[in-house]
Amino acid sequence: MFTLSQITEKLGGEWRGENITVTAIAPASRAQTNEITFLANPKYKQEVTDSAAGAIIVSAKTADLFPERNVIIAPDPYLYFAKVARLFHPIVAARGGVHPTAVIEPSAVVPTSCEIGANVYIGANTVLGERCRILANSVVEHDCVLGNDCFLHPNVTVYFGCTLGYRVELHSGCVIGADGFGLAFSGSDWFKIPQTGGVTLGDDVEIGSNTNIDRGAMSDTIVGRGTKIDNQVQIAHNCKVGEHTVIAAQTGISGSTEIGSYCVIGGGVGTVGHITIADKTNIGGGTNITHSIKESGQHYASIFPMQTYKEWVRNGVHINHLHEMHKRIKALEAKLAEQGAE
């Protein structure tokens, strides 16, 4: 629990009203007098006004809407709320020790500050940094390097020869370093191309549950510092993702695609391979990216927004005749040009 003055002392900002003690964070709709909430989106103003919350995080612009309430004024209420949430729910520190059922190869380096859970396997010549947490049933194969403070949730698999930076977090079920989908057709069958690269994850990367990042064919697949990848995402071999990019669930990035830094990629996005996406690109959910995006800061969205089946069928008829319509328009343009010349 923290008083408002203690919160602002730790996180900055300005408190106003009574210096109450708050014991938890909560959404406005169910917050109680001992809890703190926030207002970041104006459409929730009435909900926050009606809330029983003991304190509200607001911007300077909206603070005057709550003259009789206890508030903390911050430049970005949403970000500030996230930091308050971290105060109430701090990162769990590693409890040094190895569970009796864990298997650690003799050549692996595991500092005593690391927490190694039940049935964990650490392969030969793998090196862990200080204070890593490797929880139950996770596997880190041979010749891997993990930086300080990495956190592998239960049932994570890191294949051989992968490198994780400091403070990398891998959620349950994700697989780092499986073979890339590299095949050569012989004329009668497919010959698998050995995938001899690895995966490199930069500092502060977070990977969601059941996400797969494939190893490179000859060089590493790379995810840059501070990038956050959601659940059920596929990053194919030889991709490069820049720093501080976010990728939402069920997105598929095809092989050898290079994504810049500070990009925002929505859910269900798909890309073709061997393209480049510029820094600070914003891609809406469900969009298919079929060619490189070379200009930074652009926003792309799906061609077809949600529509009823009846609308889709009607529009589909026109789409099937676009080529004929194009020829007719070109013929009309040519005829008008002839008439103008006369």
* Catalytic center residues: 237
Neighbours of 207 (CB within 10 A): 29
Q: Which helix (H) or strand (E) holds 313?
A: helix 309-319
Neighbours of 335 (CB within 10 A): 10
Helix (H, G, I), strand (E, B) or coil at 75: coil
CA atoms of 163 and 176, how far apart (whole Å):
10
What one-letter code names the amino acid at 248? Answer: A
Neighbours of 262 (CB within 10 A): 17
Helix (H, G, I), strand (E, B) or coil at 169: strand
CA atoms of 232 and 253, how far apart (whole Å):
12
DSSP-based helix, strand, coil % in the chain, nearest 5: 20, 25, 55
DSSP 94-107: P--EE-TT-EE-TT
Neighbours of 15 (CB within 10 A): 21
Q: Which helix (H) or strand (E) holds 270?
A: strand 270-271
Q: Which helix (H) or strand (E) holds 339?
A: helix 322-341
DSSP 295: S
CA atoms of 97 and 115, how far apart (whole Å):
5
CA atoms of 112 and 25, how far apart (whole Å):
35
The tokens describing 7, both together, are 């919160």
User: Residue 15 forms beta bridges with which residues?
Assistant: 72
Contact present, 126 and 144 (Cβ < 8 Å): yes
